[in-house]
Structure 1
Amino acid sequence: MKQQNFDTMRLPTKQLINKIENLSHGLTPDQLASFLDIIDAMTALVEEAGEFKEEKKVKSPPAPAISSAVH
């Protein structure tokens, strides 16, 4: 299977939902359960990545030490 560039794989939400629905119609109940477990796990990874990104944004660099010495 050829790996695609992530940016070319991005789909509008409605189109993504339609593709998932079309794919799921051909699955057995066991396959569908496994597929949905994978989707849930991927969703959790995306949420964690978003939280990690937000944490990095919130943390500001340490303030420089100001010298109290008078010259």
Structure 2
Amino acid sequence: MQHTPAHAVGIRTDEDARAVAAAHTEDDDGYCVACRESGVRVHVPCFARIEAARHLDRLGVLPC
């Protein structure tokens, strides 16, 4: 599987990463809300949320 970098989902700063993580949350059925609204049904964590967490982890500011 090819890895797509964080900038492919619009993450360039820690503020971007936090916004992506906040938007890509789980609904009652276990699907990502933001992805579902864009027409994609994917279980959480979705790619965008994973990339947001990776970005924050690299910066050393990943919340516990």
TM-score, normalised to structure 1's length?
A: 0.30
TM-score, normalised to structure 2's length?
A: 0.33
Highest RCO, 1 vs 2 (Cα 8 Å, sep ≥ 6): 2
